[in-house]
Amino acid sequence: MNIGGQLGGNMEIESRVTGNSRLAGLIGNPVGHSISPQLHNTISKYVGIDMVYVPFKVEKTELENAVKGLKAIDIVGFNVTIPYKKEIMKYIDINSKEALLMGAVNTVKNIGGRLYGYNTDAEGFVRSFKEEAGTGFENKKVVLIGAGGTARAIAVKTAMEGAGRIYIVNRTIERALDIADIVNNNIERICEAFDPDEAEAAGIFSKGDIIINTTPLGMYPDVDKSPVRDSVKFSDRQIVYDVIYNPEKTKFLADAEKCGCKTINGFGMLIYQGIYAYEIWTGVKIPEKLVKEILKAFYQILQ
Ligand code: NAP
């Protein structure tokens, strides 16, 4: 280390953070892979809001203390990532109705010491789907592969968006049944659960207008994996979405593309969940022109 080696009498004052700067952040474990600090600090720079976004790696035993600490220092708000999206809910004063149905919070706003919990993952998914597919979910048959946290949020949201049927396919059928019950008992009786064998036998994959992978199968470095068997074929009227964004084109999407399907990856979902979180914290609507620039810039850094 060469401390002071490049001074030469022309010191540049670092003024990005001042005495008036507000704080936002991310809690999770791990957090090192996250692009959220770059995303939120870039948005602040371009909308001119004096707010700094910092990642906090929090151990499970310290989650409650971390939340109390963030409240005590009057944080504007924070994101929550794996593995705390569910657990965080018990430390939140008011969880939104959607977040309660989804069983997960990824965005928290602090208003005068009261914490409000939201789920912007599903909102981000819907916006990215609608923009890239050029259509919505109304009366559509939706096949969801996987029954974890992301599947639950997407099932609830697509049901709220007016989906005609939702078929959930998961290797652990009990988890798929749980999500189907939540949708059927709270939104509309449109949801059925299948294990992969039953789904194939019942021709579920060809019934769907929209097929969505919510499992990590095919994510880097396991790029040769797919959430469906090779025997499953799609048709060109179907829209196929993968929540994975690394690689840009998973095996699942590449196979669907070969069948002539419109395919979409999870990059838009990732960016839009962040944009919605930022808007919740600040009350500022991010201009469309800036949103497009953000998508372009972050698409390049994720390549
Ligand atoms: P999760 O709660 O752990 O659920 C994972 C699901 O995948 C479960 O249904 C699990 O089945 C299934 N699964 C996992 N490994 C499998 C295997 N080898 N064979 C068959 N099924 C398998 O995870 P999550 O939080 O929902 O996240 C899922 C994916 O979404 C991750 O890749 C994550 O990175 C991605 N994601 C993307 C965004 C975005 O912004 N684009 C946002 C959130 C999440 P069982 O129930 O049988 O265990």
Identify whether the C-beta of residue 231 lies closer than 8 Å to the C-beta of residue 206: no
Is pLDDT above 90 for 6? no
Q: Report the alpha-carbon distance of residue 164 to residue 253 in Å, rounded.
A: 24
Residue nearest to atom 47 of ligand 1 (CA): 172
User: How does DSSP classify residue 87?
Assistant: G
pLDDT digits (tens, 9 = 90+) for 213-241: 999 999 999 999 999 999 898 999 999 99
pTM above 0.75, yes or no: yes
| CA–centroid distance, residue 79 to ligand 1 (Å) | 19
What pLDDT does residue 168 have?
98
DSSP 134-160: S---TT-EEEEE--SHHHHHHHHHHHH
Q: Does the CB atom of residue 28 touch ligand 1 within 6 A?
A: no
The catalytic residue among 60, 68, 85, 292 is 85
Query: Which mutation among 150, 170, 223, 298 tests ligand 1's pocket best, with the greatest number of atoms within 8 A of CB?
Result: 150
Q: What tens digit of pLDDT does each residue of 152-184 get?
A: 999 999 999 999 999 999 999 999 999 999 999
Encode pLDDT of 7-42 as tens digits. 777 888 998 999 999 999 999 999 999 999 999 999
Closest CA to 51 of 8, 17, 88: 17
Q: What is the pLDDT of residue 302?
A: 78
Please give the domain boundaries of the chain with CATH numbers for all domains.
3-119+270-302 (3.40.50.10860), 122-265 (3.40.50.720)
Atom number of ligand 1 nearest to Cα 175: 46
Does the pLDDT value for residue 273 go beyond 90?
Answer: yes
Q: Which residues are CB-neighbours of 126 under 8 A, at least 6 positions away?
A: 136, 137, 157, 158, 161
* Ligand 1 lined by 241 (C-beta under 6 Å): no
Is the Cβ atom of 86 under 6 angstroms away from ligand 1?
A: no
Greatest alpha-carbon pair distance for the chain in Å reads 76
Asked if 141 is an active-site residue, the reply is no
For 301, counting Cβ atoms within 10 Å of its Cβ (0-12 exposed, 13-18 middle, 19+ buried), the class is: exposed
| 278 pLDDT more than 80 | yes
pLDDT tens digits for range 79-98? 999 999 999 999 999 999 99
Contact criterion met (CB below 8 Å) for 140 and 244: no
